[in-house]
Amino acid sequence: MNSAMRKYRPQYKWSNVFAMIKNMKRPTRRNPEPFRDKLVVITGATTGIGYYTARKYAAMGAQIIMVNRSPEKSERVRREIAEEFGTPIEYVIADLTLLEDIQRVGKYILAIDKPVDVLIHNAGLYYQSRKETPEGLEVNFVIHYLCPLIITRTLMPKYEQDRTGRIIFVSSEAYRFAVWGLDLEDLQWKRRRYAGIKVYGAGKLAQILSMHILARELAPHNVTVNAMHPGMVRTESGKDNGRLYQWYKKIIIDKYSASPEVSAEILYYLGTSPELTHTSALFFHLTTEEELTPPARDLEAAEALWEKTRELLHEKGVIL
């Protein structure tokens, strides 16, 4: 038994799993109040959860900034939402698997002369085989972990000045697949056999661990950071995988999944509800607070990951 198993195994309890199952069926909370003239930034907003979340916030009067990869899709969504809801909406084009683009997005938002009331880190992907960025980083690790971390850290001076804001990670219960935590010596999955769901889970676990660090740093500035599982909904995640996966997704996954509009309502509640004004460093299954697994609440592991990340990014010329 390795050290991680010895550390976490005694902490696991079946009640945690049963709670997750119960939370799938709990009624979700809603916030009917408008969010007029507030600024909301959403990554990955041309399809799926991000698209419906942009529509929801716009319908409630918010101003929207989307961060997307496709100029054509971004313009289509911008025009659609602006015409339908009459609210200001713009977009930034960026490939959020590239460190240069991630930093550019952070600096763009930093320069906005208006508080960012809600920042939703929604952009995500799912691959069955390992893919690297031009910088030699595993793609899943970058978009689910490094991207939201770098953008949020870049905005620290803004949050310190504006002293308001909510940050939401669109996470996943798949973080549970990283049963024994992260391998800090192989964060890029070069040594181990690449398994899509395990790598995806590790990326989401790293994201949740960073939530603890960021929540602590932002607490003095009245800014909250939380993570949420958006439910089993239909998205385009995994669309670049092979035919077998596409068939499985269409026939099995999508058939039993709900519309992303469900997730949009949840993200609106988490981003606007007065009940959550001072709530931070928590994981929500839909709108229900849920206890994290032992590796996801390990603050020592969060600190170790943080130090490892700073070293990694320093080598790439990124200073957090």
Q: Are 301 and 181 in contact (CB under 8 A)?
A: yes
CA-based torsion, 100, 191, 305, 299: positive or negative: positive
- The side-by-side arrangement of strands in the sheet containing 89-93 is 89-93, 63-68, 39-43, 118-121, 166-170, 224-229, 283-285, 288-290
Which uninterrupted H or E stretch holds 247? helix 243-248
- 3-315 to CATH, choices 3.40.605.10, 3.40.50.720, 3.20.20.100, 3.40.120.10: 3.40.50.720
What CA dihedral angle connects 72, 75, 79 and 82, to 10 degrees?
150
Q: What is the pLDDT of residue 79?
A: 98
Q: What is the pLDDT of residue 2?
A: 80
Q: What is the pLDDT of residue 256?
A: 41
Domain parsing of the chain, residue ranges:
3-315
Q: What is the pLDDT of residue 104?
A: 98
Helices (H) and strands (E) in the chain, counts: 12, 8
From first to last of its 320 residues, what are the pLDDT tens digits of the chain?
Answer: 588 889 999 999 999 999 999 998 899 999 999 999 999 999 999 999 999 999 999 999 999 999 999 999 999 999 999 999 999 999 999 999 999 999 999 999 999 999 999 999 999 999 999 999 999 999 999 999 999 999 999 999 999 999 999 999 999 999 999 999 999 999 999 999 999 999 999 999 999 999 999 999 999 999 999 999 998 764 555 445 444 434 333 433 444 456 789 999 999 999 999 999 999 999 999 999 999 999 999 999 999 999 999 999 999 999 88
Of the candidates 260, 295, 248, the one whose C-alpha atom is nearest the C-alpha of residue 42 is 260
